[in-house]
Structures are given as C-alpha cells and as structure tokens.
Amino acid sequence: MKATVLLLLAGLSFVYAAEPTGTLTLACQGMETITREKAVSTSMIIDFANQTITGLDAPTNSSIRIINMDKVTIHFGGSSPEWKIDGDINRVTGYLYALKSCPNRACVPSSLVLMCKPRQ
C-alpha cells in the first residue's frame, strides 16, 4: 500500500524530478480556441536557473518569464511587440492554461488548454 502511494505521487509530480536549477522539456497537447477550437501539439523548455520558458510557439523576439512558482503552480508571462501570453502550469497534473493576446492587433487572441508531460 505504501509503495503504491509513493509510485502514484512520483508519477504525478513530474516537475519535482528535475533539479530546481536545471531545465525541463515538456511535450504538450490540447486545444487552442480562437474563433473555433483547433488541436495543438507543441513543446516548451522550462529553465529554472534563468526563470525563463521557451517554446509554446512564441515569436522568436518574445521573452517568457516565470513570474512566480510554488509547489503546485508555475505562473508565467511574456510579450513581444505583436504578442503577449499569460498562463499557469500545474506542476502536479501537467495542466497548462494560457491566454494569448495581441497588443497591436497583429495576431488573433486565443486561449490554450494543454496537458504537458516530460519529453523523453
């Protein structure tokens, strides 16, 4: 019984397996809602040492930063002149929710609902 509980917790807490100063690459799949839903498959790299996130199909001139983090949630946000994102990833379940907006109407605003897992 005790071993089963430990295995269950180890399986759900994917971020705790990484060193807090290292990086973690996640593969994410789910839906993006613009005017209609579309399937999305993307990846992201969380750099704990530099408090940055790359990926999520962000424009190359954008910067996504970890705003704050606790045992359960990583809150992130970032922007470029034509794109802005604000979101959270649950460190236990891998559930990611983010809103993309367009400060200068250079893109179409959308929301992301993704499930993320460590990339092998």
Average pLDDT over residues 85-111: 90
pLDDT higher for 75 or 104? 75
CATH of the domain at 63: 2.40.160
Q: Long-range pairs for 2-11 at CB < 8 Å and ≥24 separation?
A: none
Quote the domain boundaries for residue 9. Answer: 2-118
Dist. CA 57–CA 68, nearest whole Å: 21
Q: What is the pLDDT of residues 75-96, one digit of tens each?
A: 999 988 888 999 999 999 999 9
Q: Tell me the C-alpha distance between 76 and 68, whole Å.
A: 7
Residue 41 has pLDDT above 90, yes or no: yes
Note the pLDDT of residue 83: 85
pLDDT in tens, 5-33: 333 334 444 444 444 678 999 999 999 99
What backbone phi and psi angles, to 5 degrees, belong to 10? -65, -35
Distances (CA, A) of 17 to 29, 38, 51: 21, 31, 17
pLDDT beyond 60 at 4: no
Domain count of the chain? 1
